[in-house]
Structure 1
Amino acid sequence: MTAGTGLSILRPDWPAPVNAGFTTRHGGVSEPPYDALNLAMHVGDDPAAVRENRRRLVEQAALPEAPRWLSQVHGTRVVHASAVERDVTEADAVWTDQPGQVCAVLVADCVPILLAARDGSCVAAVHAGWRGLAAGVIPQTLAALPVPASELMACIGPCIGPEAYAVGGEVIEAMASEGVAARYRPATVTDNAGEGPPADETPSGRFQLDLAATAKAVLIQAGVNARAVTGAGQCTYSDPNRFYSYRRDQTCGRIAAYISRC
């Protein structure tokens, strides 16, 4: 993963002929609490600021068009970019095999995943929270693409890390019931009365869910080569300087994951 210029875009280190990246919150015109490069229209930001942020993304990322923005609903619907009405079409994954079309998803803790055929013949962008992972948005996307999973590269973008993402046992059970082997560990609470020996940590009854590791496991189980799955490794919650986090701030902007054929 390398950093670009201008808008501070993180780009996958891929040999494929694609234009792909993950934005950060830097480089836009939105006012707090959306400062600065909020790319979402649905979060309460000034629409004029969002339009300018989107224009800057197209210009500075050298995109062939405005991204095909989705109305994301934590589901499993996968659409071809040609069928997208920007900011209206309800889906959580978009793909294309056509040059000049830009696939994109918006996130502020959920997992953004970019997919590309090794030869660049098709690309996709996927939005996945725990509900999407449990429901199968990743396998649904892979099934929609015209190449085998073994011919794909995948990059998992910035998302909330397990240290900041404690969930109840019902979440783990819901994922297991759908055949998803969630990656998690028991969360603990610290018991320390003040001065004295180090604090004791006891089970809290909750679990620290690793969304990125779970997404990687699902991709590999679905046929993507493990060596073809890379990740940004950044936690949105713990890096307020670069990323929005819904769990941390509630009212906030969204970063984007985008990809197009070259």
Structure 2
Amino acid sequence: MPSSTPAISECTIEQWQLPNRVAAIQSYRAGGASSAPFDSLNLGLHVGDEPERVHHNRSMLLAQMTGCSTIQWLNQVHGTQVFHLNRTPRLTPDADAAVSRIAGQACAVMTADCLPVLICANDGAEVAAVHAGWRGLCDGVIEQTINAMTTPVNQLRVWLGPCIGPSKFEVGPEVRDAFVQHEQSNRLAFQPSSADKWLADLQGLAVNRLLSLGAGNISADRRCSYLNSDLFFSYRRASHQGPAKLNGVTGRMASAIWIKANA
């Protein structure tokens, strides 16, 4: 992250400090049933993997989630729609964020370079998960999610999950322009690359948004999904390094948070 970005707590999800009644999980690419190029814990049904393998992988993930009975999956569309979980889980709504105050139901988002954002009330009464690709982040998906929560922003803690890092996320000038038009200080999250391209710091841009909203308790896993091929799926890595016929074909990881039932 750029040196101008305010310091945040650097930690994996296993190290993130949560209230006793709340739990969170970040999946990794290994340990599942899927074959290449989805090897092996692919959790996305929309990427071309065999559905029965994906369902098996999802069941394996749920088995690790103590106090959780249901994972609310989303059909992510790089937008800003926020889905409120209720006592009757809905089949894959079109949304890029979910909010819950119901124990036992997990908010989850899938990524393979985009930024997962998990949010928790300090008292453990409310949780949220956000899928923040550059477009959703620029359009305000984090703001929409926090506005949808009943907990005041200064009583929230936020975790930014692994995503494509600033040394590998090359974007065009239109992406930089969109963020700079929103806030001039976002210029510091872009470094010049080659041929009118820019390297973008996705986590840094998210931190800027969170600070502008008044969030102060921010943690982040700074590992790059592109560089850590043994740990993470990466759409852009698959696009750059895979066979042309499999351009961008890869699996999806999940980041989930829930209020534990009977906690």
TM-score (norm. length: structure 1): 0.87
Supply the distance in 1 between the matched residues of 2:136 and 2:185 (Cα, whole angstroms): 14
Matching residue of 2:160: 156
Which sections of structure 1, spanning at least 5 residues, go unmatched? 4-9, 190-203
1:56-83 CA distances to partner (integer Å, 9 max, x unpaired)?
Answer: 0011232522310000000000111127
The residue type paired with residue 244 of structure 1 is F
After superposition, the Cα gap between the structure-2 partners of 1:174 and 1:2, relative to the gap in structure 1 and judged at 3 Å, is closer
Residue 203 of structure 2 corresponds to residue 212 of structure 1 = yes
Query: Whose RCO is larger (CA < 8 A, sep 6+)?
Result: 2
Work out which of the residue numbers 110, 123, 136 in structure 2 matches 1:106.
110
Instruction: Please list, as runs of the form range in 1=range in 2, the aligned pairs for 1:68-147 lying within 5 A after superposition.
Output: 68-82=72-86, 85-87=90-92, 89-147=93-151
Residues in 2 aligned to 1:76 and 1:125: alpha-carbon distance in whole angstroms: 12
Residue 189 (structure 2) pairs with residue 184 (structure 1): yes
- The 1:143/1:233 distance shift into structure 2, 3 A limit, reads same
> Is residue 113–residue 164 contact of structure 2 (8 Å, CA) maintained in 1?
yes
Give how far 1:187 is off: 2.9
| Deviation for aligned residue 1:176 | 2.5
Describe the shift of the 1:76–1:40 C-alpha distance in structure 2 as closer, same or farther (beyond 3 A): same
Pair 1:220–1:64, CA change in 2 (3 A): same
Three-state SS of the structure 1 residue aligned to 2:146 is helix
Contact 2:11 2:219 (8 Å CA) reproduced: no
May I ask how many residue pairs the two structures share in their alignment? 239
Q: 2:179 is matched with which residue: 164, 175, 178?
A: 175
Task: Report the secondary structure of 1:95's partner residue.
Answer: strand
CA contact (8 A) 1:167 1:208 kept: yes
Distance 1:180-1:151 versus aligned 2 partners, 3 A rule: farther
Counterpart of 2:218 (choices 229, 233, 242) is: 229
Amino acid at match of 1:235: C
Q: CA RMSD in A?
A: 1.7
* Structure 2: stretches of 5+ with no match in the other structure: 1-9, 239-247
Q: 1:53 aligns with which of 57, 62, 65?
A: 57
**CA-to-aligned-CA distance 1:16-56 (integer Å, 9 cap, x gap):** 13110211101110000000100110000000000000000
**Aligned pair in 2 of structure 1 residues 12, 115: CA closer, same or farther (>3 Å)?**
farther
Looking at structure 2, the residues matched to 84 and 143 of structure 1 have their Cα atoms a distance apart, in angstroms, of 22
The equivalent residue for 1:14 is: 17
- Mapped to 2, the partners of 1:96 and 1:77 lie a distance apart of 14
Q: CA deviation at 1:177?
A: 2.8
Counterpart-to-counterpart distance in 2, 1:74 and 1:259: 20
Residues 108-164 of structure 1: CA distance to partner in whole angstroms, max 9, x if unpaired?
000000000011000000000110111000011000101110000000001000110
1:184 positional shift: 2.5
Look up the match of 2:256.
258
Closer, same or farther in 2 for the Cα pair 1:107/1:62, shift >3 Å? Answer: same
Q: Tell me if the contact between 2:29 and 2:233 (Cα under 8 Å) persists in the aligned partners.
A: yes
